[in-house]
Structure 1
Amino acid sequence: MEDYERAEPLYCEVLESTRRLFGDDNIEIITDHTNLDFIYIDMGRYDEAENLTRKALDKSESIQGYEHSTMLEKRNHLVLVFERKKIYQEAEKLWREVLHSKERPFESNSPRIAFSICHLAQNYVHQGRLEEALPLHEKALQIRTSLGDDHYQNLESMAYVSFMMSTTQIAGGRGIASHCATRTNRGAWL
């Protein structure tokens, strides 16, 4: 925590300097907002992170447009904040928006698509919706196999699918959501 407390004023100073040099409507401001919002997320200051991320989203949209990749990145940050605040329905809605936006510029088998599919599936897990999460994790795994057997994203998806399949067997098809919620509360899932 001490390092974050030392880093925060430095990032705030950088943000102010960038604002003075380039003005409020410059892409550099968005980058500085990103760095500071990650610090706030890591410090558990989710309301501040959410406010900063929303400002960056507004700036990014006005400068670059709604479909720009920076907007997707900012929406990803906002989803992280929602998930940390345990506002899973809001996070789900935003993951769906991100996924829909990514499907336009990228092919349906792109690892970028798999990233969003995987995170939407994890959102379902947090909500106890395993029956909906498993097919999404399987879809992400199918896409990520193209990255190679030893690629960390492929291995991550394999672990998610394996865990979910074993959870289904452990629960015997009954009480799956409550079993998963118990595992989630103990920190087994990120």
Structure 2
Amino acid sequence: MAFLYKSQGRYSDAEPLYIEALAMTKRLLGDEHPDVASSLNNLAALYDSQGRYSDAEPFYIQAVAIAEKQLGANHPNTITFRKNLEYLRRNDQP
């Protein structure tokens, strides 16, 4: 549902759902699970799409760190999360 709201530009509806999904994933699977990295990336992407770069960056950083540790540096998800962070940093320039 959060993804649908985000795709419709309904960011204020999407945000609490992404936050809830992240909390549930952490509670059910633990803080270091690869699915937690995916949830962090999704929340970061929401903030990124709103231009909330300083809010997005820490979530991307956490997603990359978890993915590298749990999946390895060359896993497709790790690469995607790292590219998202790099893209954010390139576009968050004055």
TM over 0.5, yes or no?
yes
Once residues 69 and 26 of structure 2 are traced to their aligned partners in structure 1, the CA distance between those partners, rounded to angstroms, is 16
Match of 2:40 in 1: 33
Deviation at 1:64, TM superposition (A): 1.1
| Superposition deviation, residue 29 in structure 1 | 0.5
Corresponding residue of 2:88: 81
The runs of at least 4 aligned residues of structure 1 exceeding 2 Å deviation read none
CA distance in 2, matches of 1:58, 1:68: 12
Shift of 1:53: 0.3
1:156-171 map, 5 Å: none
| Equivalent of 1:23 in 24, 30, 33 | 30
Higher relative contact order (CA 8 A, sep 6+): 2
Aligned residues: 87
Q: Give the Cα separation in 2 of the matches to 1:75 and 1:37.
A: 12
The residue that corresponds to 1:107 in the other structure is none
Q: Where do 5+ consecutive residues of structure 2 fail to align? A: 1-5
TM-score (norm 1): 0.43
Alignment of structure 1 residues 1-190 onto 2, 5 Å: 3-86=10-93
Measure how far apart 1:57 and its partner are. 0.6
SS at structure 2 position matched to 1:25: coil
Larger Rg computed on CA atoms: 1
Residue identity over aligned pairs, in percent, reads: 31
Distance 1:29 1:71 in 2: 12
User: How far does the alpha carbon of each residue in 1:33-59 deviate from its partner, in whole angstroms, 9 at most, with x for none?
Assistant: 121111000111101111100000110
Shift of 1:83: 2.0
